[in-house]
Amino acid sequence: MRVLVVEDDPELSRQLKQALTESGYAVDHAADGEEGHHLGDTEPYDAVVLDLGLPEIDGVTVLKRWRTAGKKMPVLILTARGQWGEKVAGFDAGADDYVTKPFHMEEVLARLRALIRRSGGHAAPELSCGPVVLDTNSSKVTVNGVPVKLTAQELRLLAYLMHHQGKVVSRTELTEHIYDHDFDLDSNTIEVFIGRLRKKLGVPIIHTKRGLGYQLAPPGEGDSV
């Protein structure tokens, strides 16, 4: 899953990027509203962490522009303590949730997980497909109750497919959502990780749709070729 952090404070940006990366997300960062607006307008993100007090263009304006342009990714805004007016303005602009500074990083991570789940139509923290279960809170994967160890890239790939279960997802879409914007889209890495993931899971839930991409579906409900 891919997240954009738009925050001008260098230390806070570093902490957010580190925490998100360690939690399995691919992370892009923008240090001002102009760059943040550009990335959010041109790159696909599963969620955005947006500070409202930004240089160049303020966060509320950035968010309004995204929503006017039809961008629907969930946005978690960061507001100063006691600035209730900022929260109201943020929600009116199209924010999905907020965290007040200073905050505990665990709260940001929990709220992001919830936003991403809800955007995919999932309410519970556990996502399942056949015997495969992904706990989005702990990032643990089990098959028939037995833990399966995945690399960070394999986990991102499975998580994206789990959040979009039943949908045919193209190779390009997968690449755009599990790597940052500097990744080489012509690489065959996706095919390699799909193969490794299938082997580790040991159950046929990742189905290849020739010429289209991949579909996550319970065994017997999709045709792999």
Split at pLDDT 50, 70, 90, the class of 184 is low
**Rounded distance between C-alpha atoms, residue 52 and residue 38, angstroms:** 16
Identify the band that residue 222 occupies on the pLDDT scale cut at 50, 70 and 90. Answer: low
With 50 as the cut, is the pLDDT of residue 135 above it?
yes
- The single residue listed with the structure tokens 């924010």 is 95
pLDDT at residue 32 tops 60: yes
pLDDT digits (tens, 9 = 90+) for 75-85: 999 988 677 88
Give the C-alpha separation, 211 to 25, whole Å: 28
- For the chain, domains (ranges, CATH) are 2-119 (3.40.50.2300), 126-216 (1.10.10.10)
CB-based contact 131:203 (threshold 8 Å): yes
Phi-psi region of 154 (alpha: psi -120 to 50; beta: other; left: phi over 0): alpha
Q: What is the pLDDT of residues 151-161, one digit of tens each?
A: 988 999 999 99
**Residue 103 vs residue 224, higher pLDDT:** 103
pTM of the shown model: 0.84
Task: State residue 126's pLDDT score.
Answer: 93
| C-alpha separations of 160 from 37, 143, 188, 214 in Å | 24, 17, 18, 11
Per-residue pLDDT band at 190 (split at 50, 70, 90):
confident
Using DSSP's 3-state secondary structure scheme, residue 101 falls into: strand
Asked whether residue 143 carries a pLDDT value surpassing 80, the answer given is: yes
